[in-house]
Amino acid sequence: MSAKADAELLPAPVTAQELAQAEKLLGFALPPMLARLYREVANGCFGPEYQLFPLVGDGRTAVDVYHEERAESEPGDAPQWPEGVLPILDWGCGMYAAVDCRSPEGTVLVFEPNGIEDDWPLAWYVDSASLADWLETWLTGTGWYEEDAEPADLRHWEPARQRLSETR
């Protein structure tokens, strides 16, 4: 299938008004590149494996999943999802790709909660220092999730403990 045919299958990009409403609901702005992807490419449904969540609309959206994950931390419990980290893709088995919206370059994180016993900072890894690099990895077929890729040694996201403590 050609790139043009692929593009015709994508949902329409979000409007400036929809982006502003999403950012209002989230309580933070998206990094410029992520905002541009949603505004100029499509409202999700592209990217590696399971594809990016739509930002807004019907069904499961990035905004909805962010609020669901933030609500998982009951008052008094150890928080598991930091403020300002937007889930963009569901890898399955409780794992997500997420963008740290506090970082201008949009650091892409992996949330891997399996086997974590309430020490939630240990569930957070850096997948890529920037959203641009993460997209490049996807486009070149060299991501850790690719069948023929070498296994990645993801490093822990050092700010996780501090960012989660801010959530309390």
Among 25-34, 67-76, 103-112, the minimum mean pLDDT is found in 67-76
Residue in this structure with the two tokens 């598991």, named with its chain if needed: 80
Which tokens hold the place of 52? Answer: 């990016």
Structural domain count of the chain: 1
CATH code, domain with 35: 3.40.1580.10
Domain region containing 76: 3-167
Strands 108-111 and 155-156: unpaired
Which percentage of the chain shows pLDDT scores above 90? 73
Distance in angstroms (rounded) separating the CA atoms of residues 42 and 129:
23
- pLDDT by residue (tens digit) across 88-134? 999 999 999 999 999 999 999 999 999 888 799 999 999 999 999 99
Distance in angstroms (rounded) separating the CA atoms of residues 137 and 122:
24
- pLDDT by residue (tens digit) across 51-60? 999 999 999 9
pTM of the model: 0.91
